[in-house]
Chains A and B, each alone.
Chain A
Amino acid sequence: MPGSVPDRFAQHVEPHLEVLFRVAWRLLRNTPDAQDLVQDTCVVACGRLGEVAAADSPRRWLLTVLHNRFIDGQRRRQRSPIVAVEDSDEVASLPSADFDPEELLRQSQDEQALEQAFLQLNPTQRTLLSLLAEGYTLHEIAAITGIAHKLLSTKLHRARNALSQRLIEQTSVAMRRAGSQP
């Protein structure tokens, strides 16, 4: 008998929770939803601890499940997880001392524009860009998402183009708003 579920969970899944959370947060851009996604992944993992243990890379196995659950959840919800700026963790963690207020404002606007642009991408594009930003290689991303390696470059290219396009749109919207203010 390979041991109890909690023991095997602690051995095979727990070491990867941090990674799962980071990717989940990048995908969803808010902590509660990221926690839900990680827990959903853990529910699946609990039922298949044997597979996790036998996998070449348990982390990749878990990320694949997380990716699947994310795609599933996005199809289900059809809504954007928008978080109020004041609740946002990163804004709260911005350094306050010796910091140029204009620079702070610009940075905050940049982050908001990026978030809005990112959340407008389709779930697969979000996954690809999140994994790339987390430092995964194309080979790993292909294994996690199940996208053929040859297709991956094209999809990644489209994702980056889509993000930059939406970023331009967001930026111009922000500039128009700023220009219309008295």
Chain B
Amino acid sequence: MNCRDLDQLTESRPFGALTDAARRDAESHANGCHHCAPLWVAYARLAAVRVPPMPDELVEKCRGLAAAHSQGSVLRLVPRSMTLAVGGFVVLAAAASAITAHFVSTSAPQRADVADAPLPVVVDPGQPAAPPYAPDIDLVEQGDPDMNASKLATVVAVSAAAVTQAQTPPAEEGPRILSAAEIIARNDLNKDGIVTLAEAAKVNGRLYVMFSSVYDLNHDDQMDVAELEHALEAVEVGTALDKITGQSGGNMAGARPEAIMASNDLDKDGIVTKEEATKAGKALIRLWDSYDLDKDGRVDYADLAKGQGY
């Protein structure tokens, strides 16, 4: 046996499939060959690894997944990444409940304080203008059964407004780049944390167009936050398009608006004119009509962001 024979033998057959004679031949060659000795050792050790038996509970967990799926909920029973996400949601829900409970417990006794503070007015379009908040509470406190629903609705609305206000970031000027989590949340119709190709097609045509070529790195027709983050991150640093798509140049799919702006806005005034795009000679000019939707011969950041599906 020579080095080539040993190479072929170890690449074409698993260790367990070697006959005793073949194994002896290989060992005797490897023992005297500087090149083959480490390869043979690695091969033999890899083959000798003892895989532990499958835990019994894994079958049950997988059956549970199938059962959950049949009920319309893709519930992952164990994966720890999902556990963290669910944990975060539970914490948020608990915070919302606490705020609601706080309003319920403090609204009546602290009526004077409540009256001092500006509170949102809940308007029911089917009814005349809603009475002020404090009298509502008064009537409820006096036991008017018709007002219970009103009180509950008011308290819930105020709580929800408070929670929403606390969670909503301050309004920003101009279009905002969505994070991977936000893009997933927008497109995840069944809220299972995974956006499928079908969901992307329903929600956002551009995301759908870029789905397979850019974002869906493993081509399994679905993506989660981590996968999208990875794709966006790679695109953002500018090295990615080639790596991800295997294409080079001229493809704007997945490019960040900033990158397109940077490569086309020659006078750096924040606006790309058709002349600039022509001079720059990038992909933008070929797709100009897709971005210059108002046909004014200029494309600004908002147009680019919109055109790229952000």
Contact = CB atoms under 8 A, between A and B. Distances in A.
A156 B42 CA distance: 13
| Residue among B46, B76, B219, B230 with max Cβ neighbours from chain A (10 Å) | B46
A4 B70 contact: yes
Contacts of A148: none
Contacts of B38: 164-165, 167-168
A129 B65 contact: no
A89 B218 contact: no
A90 B50 contact: yes
B41 interface: yes
A14 B59 contact: yes
A65 B219 CA distance: 10
Given A17-B58, A68-B220, A76-B227, A39 B74 contact: no
B55 A39 contact: no
A132 B260 CA distance: 45
A76 B51 contact: no
B213 interface: no
Contacts of A114: 42, 45-46, 49
Contacts of B15: 133
Contact of A9 (B66, B77, B219, B227): B66
B61 interface: yes
Nearest to A128: B11
Contacts of B55: 31, 35
Q: How large is the interface on A (under 10, 10 to 19, 20 to 34, 35 or more residues)?
A: 35 or more
A5 B66 contact: yes
A13 B69 CA distance: 14
Nearest to B16: A135
A71 to B, nearest CB: 6
Contact of B11 (A44, A136, A160): A160
B16 A164 contact: no
A60 interface: no
Contact of B51 (A22, A72, A163, A168): A22
B67 A6 contact: yes
B139 interface: no
B22 interface: no
A31 B54 CA distance: 8
Please report whether the interface of chain A is mostly helix, strand, loop or mixed according to DSSP: helix
A89 B59 CA distance: 19
A89 B186 CA distance: 43
Nearest to B65: A42
B248 interface: no
A70 to B, nearest CB: 9
Nearest to B11: A156
A99 B222 CA distance: 50
A135 B74 contact: no
Contacts of A35: 55, 58, 61, 78
A129 B62 contact: no
Given A39-B77, A167-B38, A17 B62 contact: yes
B79 A76 contact: no
Contacts of B176: none
A138 B70 contact: no
B41 A167 contact: yes
B234 to A, nearest CB: 10
B59 A17 contact: yes
B63 A10 contact: yes
A168 B35 CA distance: 12
A50 B74 CA distance: 17
B69 A138 contact: no
A122 interface: no
A164 B42 contact: yes
A158 B283 CA distance: 38
23 contacts: A6-B67, A10-B66, A17-B58, A35-B58, A39-B61, A43-B69, A43-B76, A44-B222, A46-B65, A47-B74, A65-B220, A72-B227, A76-B226, A76-B230, A90-B49, A93-B50, A110-B45, A114-B42, A118-B46, A133-B49, A137-B12, A163-B42, A168-B38
Return the 9 tightest CB-CB contacts between A and B, nearest first.
A5-B70, A9-B66, A89-B52, A164-B38, A46-B69, A164-B42, A68-B218, A135-B14, A21-B54
Given A9-B63, A68-B218, A90-B49, 10 more contacts: A22-B51, A39-B79, A42-B62, A65-B220, A68-B220, A69-B220, A72-B220, A157-B11, A163-B42, A167-B41
